Amino acid sequence: MKEHEIKCKHACKNTCAMLTEALRKEASIVRFYEGMLDECNLPEVRSFITETIEEKRKAILRIIQKLNEIHARSQVIDGMISSFNNIDG
């Protein structure tokens, strides 16, 4: 898939479709590298692949953290909006 084929719909609610797709792709890349690691017996290459896997896992954690932040912020905003809508008087 070409980079420019991914388009943001700008209509996310409580999440981000682009970050969700990035998370899916990063996880797929980690599985790919783990498969390479299972087949490789050259120490220098194994070390490089292991480092790359760790970097990708850190990226995955950062994406998850950002998705959680977006979700939490959306919940707060929804709560504020609903509190204005539920005013008795």
Is residue 61 one of the residues assigned to a domain?
yes
Which residues form the domain of 59?
20-83
pLDDT at 84: 73
Render 8-57 in DSSP notation, one character per residue: --S--SSS-HHHHHHHHHHHHHHHHHHHHHHH---HHHHHHHHHHHHHHH
* Residue 64 scores a pLDDT above 90: yes
Is residue 70 one of the residues assigned to a domain?
yes
- What is the pLDDT averaged over residues 48-53? 97
Number of domains in the chain: 1
- What is the pLDDT averaged over residues 3-7? 65
* Residue 4 scores a pLDDT above 60: no
Is residue 4 one of the residues assigned to a domain?
no
Is residue 75 one of the residues assigned to a domain?
yes
> What does the pLDDT look like over 9-36, one tens digit per residue?
776 777 788 999 999 999 999 999 999 9
Query: Angle at CA 22, nearest 5°, toward 56 and 39?
Result: 40
* Residue 78 scores a pLDDT above 70: no
